[in-house]
Structure 1
Amino acid sequence: MPHHSPSPPPSNHRPTRTDAAARPTPTQLAHSWLTRYRDLIDDWDAFAAALARSLPVTLWANPTRISIAALTDLLTEDALAPQPIPGLPNALRLPPEYRVGQQWWYCVGLAHAQEVVSQLPVTVLDLQPGQRVLDLCAAPGGKTAQIAFALGNRGTVIANDIGYGRLKALQGNLDRLGVINVTTTQSDGRNWPTASGQFDRVLVDAPCSSEGTIRRNPSLLQRHDPATAERFGPRQRALLRRAVQRCRPGGLVLYSTCTFAPEENELVVADILAEYAGQLQLREIDFPGFNTAPGVTRWLGRTLPPELARCRRFWPHRNDTGGFFIALLEKDPSLPAEPEPELAHLADSEHDEWLDGLIAKYGLPEDYWSRYRINRQTKRGLHLLAADHAPPAVPAAEGRGLFFHRTNVRPPKPTTSGALVIGPDATRFRLELNREQRDAYLRRELFAPTAAQRAANPPGQAIVSYRGQILGIAVLHRSGVIESQFPSRWSGQAATELPA
């Protein structure tokens, strides 16, 4: 059994992603492609000054595991002064240099890092339990997780993305956060199958030229070609068109991008409104606590319908954020609805041996599994799903719910994501760690138990925690050491660089 030599715990702070010399200067901005937007921006000097600053770190508390007040206390103990964000009661703002992704509470899914403006689309979708939701371009999963929790981690959310690598990042975030009401699919959203049925809500956070991310990616100023906006347009129209088709009558479609270009924003929405004349209307949307600008109604000689002003633009200088665009479309409720789709067959039998074993070992309530749906998707083990999760048969799923119990090993063991879900209800084989043990555990090191821990716990697998918060699974060996089972891909992970 290898012993990993200790390494110092990660610093809480990091250099900003770009030093001051790499950030754009007002002179550079004044001679850049951004000047094409000068007439749209109310205060060019403030806009330029915002782009020269690093973007603050923002995160939200996982509502299934911690309150925003408790998360604030954790950050305050770390000598930080987290700032609330008006309009986002479950979110906090931190300094740009803070290393969120390497904190213990982040690694075990108590919070998720997500740029402020990227948190906003889900807030206007009017999500209610029982709705069926499609996230058409879902990776890396921040908005998907927001949707899942807004539905109470119940019901049916379909999270799709075209790229396998992006889908793996999506599933990793859902696993860390304990999301159990999502089925993931890998498909080109432009060709999303009709056989999937219609959805109450469809989110299209469209691939775009990402101009609004220049505060995180200053090199974009030099390498960006404004013609890129024109190249994205056809794909964005196709995605929004398919979203409208897959939306139920009376349902909502939200279209968003992280770019400034009207060619990817208002012009896309205007063309789809014209294509579905009389079937769609742009909803008025409001974001209390945020200073937004109306959508553009005239661009490069083209006059757009006045209702395009109902779209919302987020300029970086107005709220100290990245750039963003949001439009909310409502489908005419009088249109005929399609038949309900065929649902996927999820085998729920032949799991009793494994489930009874978990109840017996960890002291879970006898009726514990009635709140979930259990499904074997691979030979590796069992997946945990919301009891009312009902994904369609088409398209084929990449994954459903959360892989929670590995049965192809002896003895079988819960996964880390499974332990994070069932751990709070476990009454046996619980091992509370101190701070030094916590850090060793997250670094996947061997470490010694205290005398009290050895006296209270027999050798074998145990669910470990710190300050009552579940960390995952460890093995207490007869030789007198504790072996971490924390996954290497989660250990000291960096916060995602995607806008989520």
Structure 2
Amino acid sequence: MTNDIHFPKGFIDSLHNVPGFNAETFTTTHQNSNTPTSVRVNPYKPAPFNHTQPVPWCNSGLYLDSRPSFTFDPLFHAGCYYVQEASSMFIDHILRHVYNKDYGPVKVLDLCAAPGGKSTLISSALADEDLLVANEIIKTRVPILTDNLNRWGRTNVVVSNNDPKSFARLKGFFDIIVIDAPCSGSGMFRKDPAAMDEWSEGNVALCQQRQERILADVYPALTEDGYLIYSTCSYSYEEDEAVLDWLCEEFELETVQIPVQTEWGIIESQSATHKAWGYRFYPDKLKGEGLFAACLRKRENTGQLQSFRAKNSPKPNYKEIDLLKPYVNCSADLYFFKLNEDWLAINKHHRDSLETLQHFLYLKKSGVRLGKLAGKELIPDHELAICLMLNKDAFNQIELTYDQAIAYLRRDNIEDLNIDTKGWGLMCYQGYPLGWAKLLPNRINNYYPKEIRIMSQKQSQEPGTKSQDM
């Protein structure tokens, strides 16, 4: 199927001297409306997929033959996979090239994180002793970021809602900073033709200025010898290689060449002045949308923040903590803390880091929210149900059929569910937890969060029986 394509005025002309650009094949590809569908499997909650081929630059990435209705797949809601554009998975390849677990724990900042694709990708690569701070500048986008990271299930994650300049106070705090910078969006033209209405040469110039401001604001937070991973979904040289030259001119940064295989179809480029390496993705050369990515290493010391320990912090309530321990695995590795009436837990390696972040930033998520204690009983939070630290054996596990799982995710009544136990039930599909229900003698109370329930009433079939669009 082909469509007439009308690029914005001046767009094609602006790319004539950009590395790897071919106007004819580029235009032909955009006339083809069939964009590839790709997912990235959660290595800690692997979901089975049939009829797939791997994304070559990401071990957990898969191309699907057709686009199913992800909304009506309980395994999607359980966090077994993330629907992500294949080109953007290249950040995984960069991260695994520069990250070495043998060097000890690292702290990673994903600065422009919503909706969470790159954050869940980074989370998959990190060890429990590492820390991920996923920040979103726009307040209204924080909930979707938090929900996606909750589904992914890791305990070593903090979500914040701050302007990049707030991070300047965290001098030398992060070992790796990932910045998927706001851009003019030309790399998404095939996937989202409406993005063409926003493109102009003037907007490209404004985006470049904003990208440079963001980079300058956050730069002090990167430690000496730390890595800056920069990406955009723009083809414009001004937002890509020109920004690399600006970075090398303004700061003591050196380029990092990332190994790529020729058959991947990725175009290697170098900036005009400082010869900084960049990696360009074109949909006429590979199976993915437009992307630019690069990696630089900081070669100067711009200050180092000392760990911050809060003064007069309340003494831990060990009696209550002992009540929480049976509900989680590896409790000896966790730091338990209270926020208002809620108990939370994070890997104990991150206690000092968490208190530092709490002092300097506005945090929206810290580790995993376990729930509230009512006497000796835990009223469990949804985060606990879908996190990896959950001790499933501490709860009644209710295995749902496909139709029952969809009803649960809609907060509808669940038909033909025969329960002979009482208390909190962990509602599962194919063994993966979806959330909680309170089991009562004559009914169950559905505790799936209202704000993330399936709203559509579209009739669905179990994934694999028929391909559907979202």
Cα shift at 1:449:
5.4
The letter for the 2-side match of 1:315 is Y
Give the alignment of 1:71-150 within 5 angstroms.
Answer: 71-72=47-48, 75-76=49-50, 81-95=51-65, 97-125=67-95, 126-129=98-101, 130-150=105-125
Partner of 2:281: 314
The letter for the 2-side match of 1:307 is K
Partner of 2:30: 51
Q: Alpha-carbon deviations, 1:337-358, whole Å to 9, x = none?
A: 6334333548671264365267
Structure 2 Cα separation of the partners of residues 485 and 218 of structure 1: 39
Cα shift at 1:32:
5.8
In structure 2, relative to structure 1, the CA distance for the partners of 1:293 and 1:347 (3 Å cut) is farther
Partner of 2:317: 350
Say how many residue pairs are matched. Answer: 440
Structure 2 Cα separation of the partners of residues 230 and 450 of structure 1: 59
Cα shift at 1:87:
2.2
Partner of 2:266: 292
In the alignment, is residue 438 of structure 1 matched against residue 405 of structure 2? yes
Q: Alpha-carbon deviations, 1:196-223, whole Å to 9, x = none?
A: 5432111111111111111221022244
Alignment equivalent of 2:429, drawn from 459, 466, 475: 466
Cα shift at 1:257:
0.6
In structure 2, relative to structure 1, the CA distance for the partners of 1:46 and 1:424 (3 Å cut) is farther
Q: Give TM-score scaled by structure 1 length.
A: 0.80
Cα shift at 1:251:
1.3
Partner of 1:300: none
In the alignment, is residue 210 of structure 1 matched against residue 175 of structure 2? no
Contact 2:132–2:158 (8 Å) recurs in 1: yes
Q: Alpha-carbon deviations, 1:322-350, whole Å to 9, x = none?
A: 11111111122xx4463343335486712
The letter for the 2-side match of 1:249 is E
Query: Could you say what secondary structure the match of 2:144 adopts?
Result: helix
Q: Alpha-carbon deviations, 1:267-314, whole Å to 9, x = none?
A: 1111121122xx2111111334621113364xxxxxx22613x21111
Cα shift at 1:153:
3.8
Contact 2:171–2:223 (8 Å) recurs in 1: no
Query: Could you say what secondary structure the match of 1:399 adopts?
Result: strand
In structure 2, relative to structure 1, the CA distance for the partners of 1:430 and 1:351 (3 Å cut) is farther
Contact 1:107–1:490 (8 Å) recurs in 2: no
The letter for the 2-side match of 1:162 is I
Alignment equivalent of 2:13, drawn from 35, 41, 59: 35
Structure 2 Cα separation of the partners of residues 409 and 117 of structure 1: 50
Structure 2 Cα separation of the partners of residues 397 and 347 of structure 1: 19
Alignment equivalent of 1:404, drawn from 370, 377, 383: 370
In the alignment, is residue 491 of structure 1 matched against residue 453 of structure 2? yes
Cα shift at 1:231:
0.6
Q: Pick which of 28-37 and 321-330 moved more.
A: 28-37
In structure 2, relative to structure 1, the CA distance for the partners of 1:356 and 1:409 (3 Å cut) is closer
Identity, % of aligned pairs?
Answer: 22
Structure 2 Cα separation of the partners of residues 350 and 64 of structure 1: 31
Partner of 1:15: none
Q: Alpha-carbon deviations, 1:108-143, whole Å to 9, x = none?
A: 111111111212123213224401112222222221
Structure 2 Cα separation of the partners of residues 444 and 250 of structure 1: 50
Query: Could you say what secondary structure the match of 1:231 adopts?
Result: helix
In structure 2, relative to structure 1, the CA distance for the partners of 1:255 and 1:369 (3 Å cut) is same
Contact 1:128–1:150 (8 Å) recurs in 2: no
Partner of 2:466: none
Cα shift at 1:260:
0.8
In structure 2, relative to structure 1, the CA distance for the partners of 1:473 and 1:30 (3 Å cut) is closer
Contact 2:170–2:305 (8 Å) recurs in 1: no
Partner of 1:270: 245
Cα shift at 1:482:
2.9
Partner of 2:459: none
The letter for the 1-side match of 2:79 is G
Cα shift at 1:428:
4.3
In structure 2, relative to structure 1, the CA distance for the partners of 1:347 and 1:235 (3 Å cut) is farther
Gaps of 5+ in 1: 1-19, 298-303, 495-500
The letter for the 1-side match of 2:83 is A
Partner of 2:460: none
Q: Pick which of 127-136 and 198-207 moved more.
A: 127-136
Partner of 2:126: 151
Contact 1:127–1:147 (8 Å) recurs in 2: no
Contact 2:14–2:236 (8 Å) recurs in 1: no
Gaps of 5+ in 2: 457-470
Alignment equivalent of 2:332, drawn from 342, 353, 370: 370
Give the alignment of 1:135-214 within 5 angstroms.
Answer: 135-214=110-189
Q: Pick which of 404-413 and 91-100 moved more.
A: 404-413
Query: Could you say what secondary structure the match of 2:14 adopts?
Result: helix
Query: Could you say what secondary structure the match of 1:313 adopts?
Result: strand
Contact 1:449–1:482 (8 Å) recurs in 2: no
Contact 2:57–2:89 (8 Å) recurs in 1: no
Query: Could you say what secondary structure the match of 2:411 adopts?
Result: coil
Contact 1:29–1:35 (8 Å) recurs in 2: no
Structure 2 Cα separation of the partners of residues 226 and 275 of structure 1: 24
Contact 1:148–1:154 (8 Å) recurs in 2: no
In the alignment, is residue 338 of structure 1 matched against residue 310 of structure 2? no
Contact 2:184–2:203 (8 Å) recurs in 1: yes
Q: Alpha-carbon deviations, 1:29-64, whole Å to 9, x = none?
A: 496623321343443332112223232221111122
In structure 2, relative to structure 1, the CA distance for the partners of 1:271 and 1:406 (3 Å cut) is same
Contact 2:226–2:298 (8 Å) recurs in 1: yes
Q: Pick which of 199-208 and 28-37 moved more.
A: 28-37
In structure 2, relative to structure 1, the CA distance for the partners of 1:272 and 1:243 (3 Å cut) is same
In structure 2, relative to structure 1, the CA distance for the partners of 1:493 and 1:50 (3 Å cut) is farther
Structure 2 Cα separation of the partners of residues 347 and 180 of structure 1: 23
